[in-house]
Amino acid sequence: MLGRTANDLFWMSRYVERAENMARLLEVGYRIALLPREGHGQDEEWRSTLRSAGCEQGYLAKHGVYETSKVVAFMLFDADNPSSVYSCLATARRNARAQRTALTREMWESLNTAWITLSAIDPATLTPDKLPPLFDWIKERSALFRGTLLNTILRNDTFYFNQLGAFLERADNTARILDVKYYVLLPHNEPVGGEIDSVQWAAILRSVSAHRSYRWVYKGYKPWRIADYLILNRQMPRSLRSCYEEIVQALVELGRYYAATNRPQELAGEILRELADADMKAIFQSGLHEFLTAFIARNNHLGREISATYYFTEKVVSC
């Protein structure tokens, strides 16, 4: 497989996953923006949403003030925002088109149809009542793409690079959401308690589609349980631990496929072992924010190692 192909596939899956995460974040932000609020108003909510999405700076540079309709437009349709749903699907579809030969017809059609539908939407016609169905639709398209990938593609390097892209992105996203909201989860916030906090806790869970499943696993919202669920729980499919189970598996399979062990495998194995051995109490003691910041950095580092090991963008000079 060409290094460029691996690169395009990795980022294709990353961007589809990102589009879905953008829709989730927006859905939750939008929901909270509709609630009657006291004290710090919607600004704080949108700021943390934009920060979780990693596009706060870009937004402020363009719009200056937090305003629901502007945030929604920026995160959904703004082509200047590389992480908007529009940009994510455009990039994913461009990569898919460049690597058409590596995709099954089903994968290509699910992405292409999503792109054709999304690009035909006129943002000006999106009244508030149309937003929740649109968020659902984006999640559905992402699920359909993942489904076609899982159900139709050969288990070879094509599959593994897609898996790596999807789960590195998901891990990044879960860690970011937690990091932006970590102050809500800090134990010393607990006495403050009250209405807002449980709304916030529920929001965190909602943004990773876990507010129902959480209740099956734990009883009642407790900050450390929510953090435990999203970081260390092995059953929760968007937890950091789960993501790393998938990443390690993909790297091991890739190593087997290419008959070679490699640096990313060791790195990911190390991260997974630490997640498996960690307990939430210790993490809170040494600082949740510090833990998450370090995790995000290592996750990025792993991405770069994968890119270097498999020659994603290798520049070889002619001789």
Partner 1 sequence: MVLPAAFDEMKGSGGGIREPYLSVHQWLQGQDIAELKRKRSEAEALFRRTGITFAVYGDEAVSERLIPFDIIPRILSAAEWRRLAAGIEQRARALNAFMYDVYHRQEIIRAGRVPADLIIQNAAFLPEMMCVEPARGVYAHVIGIDIVRTSANEFFVLEDNTRTPSGVSYMLENREAMMHMFPDLFARNRVAAVEDYPDNLRLTLESVAPRGLDREPTVVVLTPGIHNSAYFEHSFLADQMGMELVEGQDLVVVDGALQMKTTQGLKQVDVVYRRIDDAYLDPLVFRRDSVLGVPGIFDVYRAGRLTIVNAPGAGIADDKSIYCHMPEIVEFYTGRPPILKNIPTWACRRPDDLAYVLEHLSELVVKQVHGSGGYGMLVGPAASADEIEMFRMLMKARPDRYIAQPTLALSTAPTLVEAGIRERHLDLRPFVLVGDRVRLNPGGLTRVALREGSLVVNSSQGGGTKDTWVLQD
Asked if 1 is part of the footprint of partner 1 (rule: CB under 8 A), the reply reads yes
- Residue selected from 3, 54, 237, 255 as contacting partner 1 according to rule CB under 8 A: 3
Asked if 121 is part of the footprint of partner 1 (rule: CB under 8 A), the reply reads no
Do residues 233 and 241 touch, judged by C-beta distance below 8 A?
A: yes
Written as one letter, the residue type at 82 is P
Do residues 112 and 68 touch, judged by C-beta distance below 8 A?
A: no
Contact letters for partner 1, residues 286-315 (x by CB under 8 A): ------------------------xx--x-
Count residues near partner 1 (CB under 8 A).
27
Do residues 215 and 224 touch, judged by C-beta distance below 8 A?
A: no
Do residues 201 and 183 touch, judged by C-beta distance below 8 A?
A: no
- Residue selected from 113, 189, 209, 213 as contacting partner 1 according to rule CB under 8 A: 113
Contact letters for partner 1, residues 62-101 (x by CB under 8 A): --------------------------------x--xx-xx
Asked if 319 is part of the footprint of partner 1 (rule: CB under 8 A), the reply reads yes
Written as one letter, the residue type at 21 is N
- Residue selected from 38, 64, 79, 318 as contacting partner 1 according to rule CB under 8 A: 318
Own/partner long-range contacts of 126-131 (Cβ < 8 Å, ≥24 apart): 126/72, 126/76, 131/26, 131/30, 131/72
User: What are the residues whose beta carbons fall under 8 Å from the beta carbon of 122, sequence distance 6 or more?
Assistant: none
What's the token pair of residue 195? 């209405």
Written as one letter, the residue type at 15 is Y
Contact letters for partner 1, residues 260-289 (x by CB under 8 A): x-----------------------------
CB of 108 to partner 1, least distance (A): 7
| Sites of contact with partner 1 (CB under 8 A) | 1-6, 94, 97-98, 100-101, 105, 108-109, 112-113, 116, 157, 258, 260, 310-311, 314, 316-319
